[in-house]
Structure 1
């Protein structure tokens, strides 16, 4: 059983009104969050073979930048490697318990994107294509020739879903945990008018700023159509505790728009399913870890076929 982090709907709302609740929230980290493995591997370019079998945390070099990665569990023949992607403002520490649990049966890794956690800062604004190049190098070094299942939370879910269609030779399954909507900017501007005041306008403006790249990651995230990744197994999980409903005046409409955003992600595959984590706020893998684990294991089993 994964250790509970005591993240609550109230905390998720604090994240939302601070402007990050729709892409992730640094405030959701807890004091006892830790890297997913007890040992830390030495950094440096040790070669692909060593990288695909190490456990613990280590730094790898990606195009001259240092990227912090963490892996648990041993490679399993004919099974994809699970790679976890954290939300905006977070780091791989928020995935630590999920990774530890999955690592008991599967090779499972996570990484800090540039500008997050212990990875280097980006030199300037990053596009999704830039982030995809980093992800490709991470996958090459931690998974080698093995296929992968990507499981992303919030902004990490959006990144995984944007990446998969262009890498169908590598990505054999997706789990999107309350992923940021593919049309998040338009959703916010439609549901919260410019005439809004107070909490609602703060949520809109600060979240839009993050999507424009005004965050430590400097990642620019434009709206876009959902592209197909073929018929890979995909599970989309949305939150059940309607924390956005607490936003004065516009909360219910925000919840409806969020649910619609989750349904849009179903178009990524002909084998996709949507479910609701009834007792979860935005951080499904923290509030209901068993739900997240079960979904990832189902996708891994389907992908292994």
Structure 2
């Protein structure tokens, strides 16, 4: 009787390719995978275009579109027009659009005229052609207010990176500015002060750099639908989420971050008008490392020193976004704005 080994030896010689997938099958699998990816990406792109068109129909602009020279900016003003100056102008954080100010704008409008707007390429505004740094954003806002016949002087309210933009505006157009409110404003030093701060900025910039590509195939829209509610009322909550899913908005956010070094350089030496009423409102909960939290507090103190007529209020437990998006914390932001409005009207200095 032959042993198993002798039988194998006497038969067909074993192939060297035994156990391997034939090359033809590998190619077929690769082609199938690539085809599936092409279909998936194409379907995502169609979904993004179609959903954006539906959003534009379901979420129309609540304000008016004002031509500022080659493109239009969305401006939404509310509140009485017969209470005297100043007019409050709201400058949002990165990616924030008019609906983000729902709580704040409604609170201010009971006492003063207040205007929110969408920067070029965000919300209901057309994309612009200028780089989105502080100098160009301030110039566009100046053109918008004058083209729209919004009476000055203004109390400028800047939230997050919007704080840098209003500081630049106040430096370039000081005669327009009656007061300034900085809501947990960004600092010109936040990306250069320490290695950990620089690393955090690099990480954020890298994340936003890939978002436009993901937006074009619908990924950011799907991820946005899975996020928790913003804290805003309806319909502002739905309006803001719809705007945040648009490809042009994500393009603009990435562009503003790319322009951030230029913005920091421009604002670093910017000055406020002498003795202008200044209110700095600082949150305490940024969910970041303790050393960065301490740095943030120091930067807020530095910004409070920009005017001799100032008040600095720290809101314990408030976060960077809750000062605007949360109903309760937004009331504190409203109070800070109205305090500056009252100081402008009375000519009295801000209280302690």
Identify the residue that residue 109 of structure 2 maps to in structure 1. Answer: 103
Q: Work out the number of aligned pairs and report it.
A: 238
Compared with structure 1, are the counterparts of its residues 221 and 193 closer, same or farther at alpha carbon in structure 2 (3 Å cutoff)?
closer
Out of 202, 206, 209, which is 1:205 matched to?
202
**Per-residue deviation, residues 44-64 of structure 1 (Å, max 9, x unmatched):** xxxxxxxxxxxx511000111
Identify the residue that residue 254 of structure 1 maps to in structure 2. Answer: 292
Q: Which has the larger radius of gyration?
A: 2
* Secondary structure of residue in 2 paired with 1:139: helix
Residues 17-56 of structure 1: matches in 2 within 5 Å?
A: 56=62
Residues 78-117 of structure 1: matches in 2 within 5 Å?
A: 78-117=84-123
Identify the residue that residue 274 of structure 2 maps to in structure 1. Answer: 230
The 2-side partners of 1:134 and 1:289 are apart by 27
Taking structure 2 as the reference length, what is the TM-score of the superposition? 0.62
Identify the residue that residue 180 of structure 1 maps to in structure 2. Answer: 186
Compared with structure 1, are the counterparts of its residues 208 and 273 closer, same or farther at alpha carbon in structure 2 (3 Å cutoff)?
farther
Identify the residue that residue 240 of structure 1 maps to in structure 2. Answer: 284
The 1-side partners of 2:113 and 2:253 are apart by 34
Q: What CA RMSD, in Å, does the superposition of the two structures yield over aligned residues? A: 2.7
* Secondary structure of residue in 2 paired with 1:173: strand
Taking structure 1 as the reference length, what is the TM-score of the superposition? 0.71
Identify the residue that residue 192 of structure 1 maps to in structure 2. Answer: 196
**Consecutive unaligned residues in structure 2, runs of 5 or more:** 1-58, 210-251, 347-352
- 1:302 matched to 2:339? The reply is no
The answer to whether the 8 A contact 2:67-2:147 is kept is: no
The answer to whether the 8 A contact 1:173-1:303 is kept is: yes
Structure that is richer in helix per residue: 2
Compared with structure 1, are the counterparts of its residues 185 and 142 closer, same or farther at alpha carbon in structure 2 (3 Å cutoff)?
same
Residues 165-176 of structure 1: matches in 2 within 5 Å?
A: 165-176=171-182
The 1-side partners of 2:254 and 2:116 are apart by 21
The 1-side partners of 2:255 and 2:123 are apart by 10
**Consecutive unaligned residues in structure 1, runs of 5 or more:** 1-37, 41-55, 195-200, 245-250
